[in-house]
Amino acid sequence: MAHFAKVESGIVKKVIVAEQDFVDTYIDNEAGEWVQTSYNTYAGQHKLDDTPFRKNYAIVGGTYDATRDAFIPPKQYPSWTLNETTCQWEAPVAYPNDGNVYTWNESDQQWDEVSI
């Protein structure tokens, strides 16, 4: 089985699990096209050390950039920029690497520690 994203005007509308034959023969009356995606690909890396596929797994509401041949997740915050290599959005300040959990504070442009 494989994963396929229904893409309309560059926007991912849905993601399904199906055989290639199903997608090839399915009579689809909805606008858009089916584009294969890989559940194990994130930020241009394959989780199982296989060949990465289209940079990221498709997410509903995200985009498919045909020029990059990449799925790009939805942008979480206005201040974040797209990493052209990974096709992931990145905060203007790096996530702290101290083992704690943080959430992005868009107003203050910083990571705030989450108390657990």
pLDDT tens for residues 61-112?
Answer: 999 999 999 999 999 999 999 999 999 999 999 999 999 999 999 999 999 9
Length of the chain: 116
- Of 80, 81, 84, 49, give the one whose Cα is nearest residue 70: 84
SS3 (DSSP) at 80 = coil
Cβ-contact 45, 31 below 8 angstroms:
no
In whole angstroms, give the CA distance from residue 4 to residue 19: 9
In whole angstroms, give the CA distance from residue 22 to residue 6: 13
Whose tokens are 């699990």? That residue is 17
Cβ-contact 28, 43 below 8 angstroms:
no
| pTM, 2 dp | 0.88
Residue 23: which pLDDT band, with cuts at 50, 70 and 90? Answer: confident
- Of 112, 13, 116, give the one whose Cα is nearest residue 62: 13
